[in-house]
Amino acid sequence: MNWNPSPTMWRAPAPADTVSYPPAEVFAAGLRNHHIANTAYPIAHQQTFKPYRVPRREHLAVTQAGLSGFEDMCLYVHVPFCETRCSFCEYTVVGKDERSDTKVYVDALLQEIERYDELVELGGRRMHGMDIGGGTPAYLSVAEIARIMASIHARCSFVADADISIETTPKIAAADPAKLAGYRALGIQRISMGIQVIQPDLLKVLNRAENGIEHHFRAVEAIRAGGFSRLNLDLMYGFANQSLDSWRATLEHAIALDPEYITLYRMRYKLTRISHQADAVTLEEVRPMTALAKQVLAAAGYHANPGKTTYSRIPGDVGTSSYLARRVQTGIPYIGFGLGSQTFTHTTIAYNDGAAGKTLRPYLESVSAGRLPIQDLYELPVRQMMGKMCAVSFYFGEIQRAPFLAKFGVPLEQVFADEIEFLVGRGLMELNEDALSLTPEGVHDKNGIIPLFAAPSIQGYLIGRDPTAADDLVRNRKIALRVAG
């Protein structure tokens, strides 16, 4: 990684990020607040990130500075359209009244890509991967995806082992095999499809009944016929009224579809339409589901190190896209294009217009005015940037030591000496030459472990939060809707 950090590169910390909390207290607070203490970083950003918010008048200069000094990076393209919005969805997806505006959106997206190219010269960077995510990217036509791909390839050079990944639903894949073949012809190598669950009554609750098992085998046939040899299936668990038997059935069904990879997501209730159900799901119910998944998948030849969310049946293949692998393992910077996308550098995090209200208008207006379509930009102290890198590292169940040192100029074991002593002493993580890794025992306490690497302001928030009070989730949602106007 061609990056030489110095202490002066990061923003000075606010008082809330200069305190210290005992590891045992933070660990217990994370377990109490297990529904929000996860890989999503930050927590309660209206409080914990507030001191670092950059005024809009400074967005251009701070963005340009944040994207300078390195050549290696990744790209993310967001497509905010779906046929229906699932009840479990926490992401930026527009409403049904904007679903027909795909051409207008792609036009704006291409203008944003051009604006970033003018600002930071994308052609001078080495791209290590690109994800086209959503929403449902396969909602777009082949011609619309082709326009995006042409714009990227005209400006960007990808390294030899980089890949481009896209997402679809079973219903779209089963109904339009030609679309999938068209995506593959554009050079997209990896495809991910959301199965989530197969329990019929739960599918109805999740507003996902249209993507039931009647589509799944035909969808996989279409994906294979289209030329994709790298297929990932997404499954979800940790829902209210999801039995262990139904979770086993979902796992076995996914295995029968014969994908190369299976990725597991525990339900995160924050800012979803079913957030009120969070208190009905306890750690005691979730832990057996995690253990069962490991057992069933391993027996079928799918493997992952402890705590890793993506299981692969291909030896030596981590299973994720190269974008996600580099983001998680090395903390590589990336630019996010599109509504509500996130851009991450070594010193800044930005969220594009539309992230709050989930509507196209703010994004389209910013692009039309020639601005970078940034809703919120934060220039962060080093401790917050460390927290971000460590949190997402738990997608792989470990924090890589060498990339941490390269990114921050200080060893992981020096920054987190007390936390590592606490975790290793309890058999929850182990420190080896390459990484600080979860043990099988630590997997079940991951929600207590992740906050140990968060910035002190986030730790303090968790310690002081009443986990039985969901009003902070409701308040954040109301704030988002108010910001959207």
Tell me the pLDDT tens digit for each residue of 250-298: 999 999 999 999 999 987 776 666 677 777 788 899 999 999 999 999 9
Q: Say if residues 48 and 16 touch (Cβ distance below 8 Å).
A: yes
Contact 43, 465 (CB under 8 A): no
Strands 429-431 and 435-438: antiparallel
Count CB atoms within 10 A of the CB of residue 311: 25
Helix (H, G, I), strand (E, B) or coil at 23: helix
pLDDT recorded at residue 51: 98
92-130 in b/e form (b: 16+ CB < 10 A) is: bbbeeebeebbeebbebbbbbbebbbeebebeebebbbb
What average pLDDT does this structure show over 217-229? Answer: 97
Region 203-208: what's the mean pLDDT? 82
pLDDT digits (tens, 9 = 90+) for 372-399: 999 999 999 999 999 999 999 999 999 9
Is residue 364 classed exposed, middle or buried when 0-12, 13-18 and 19+ CB atoms within 10 A define those classes?
buried
pLDDT score for 466: 87
Residue 417, exposed/middle/buried by CB under 10 A (0-12, 13-18, 19+)?
A: exposed
Q: Is the pLDDT of residue 476 over 60?
A: no
How far CA 319 is from CA of 135, 144, 155, 311, in Å, comes to 21, 27, 27, 6
| pLDDT surpasses 50 at 40 | yes
Q: Are 332 and 73 in contact (CB under 8 A)?
A: yes
Domain spans of the chain, in order of start: 19-44+387-466, 61-325
Cα torsion at 325, 329, 334, 336 (round to 10°)? 50
Closest CA to 244 of 201, 287, 279, 205: 287
CATH architecture of 61-325: Alpha-Beta Horseshoe (3.80)
Joined tokens for residue 435: 């990484």
Give the confidence band of 92 by pLDDT, cuts at 50, 70, 90.
confident
Q: What is the dihedral of CA 39, 444, 451, 306, to 10 degrees?
A: -60
Distance between CA atoms of 342 and 184, rounded to whole angstroms?
26
Q: What is the pLDDT of residue 1?
A: 56
pLDDT band at 224 (very low <50, low <70, confident <90, very high): very high
The residues, any chain, with a CB within 8 Å of residue 50's CB and separated by 6 or more, are none
Q: Are 95 and 358 in contact (CB under 8 A)?
A: yes
Distance CA 305, CA 283 (A): 21
User: What is the average pLDDT across 29-35?
Assistant: 95
Residue 472 above 50 pLDDT? no
Supply φ then ψ for residue 160, to 5 degrees.
-60, -35
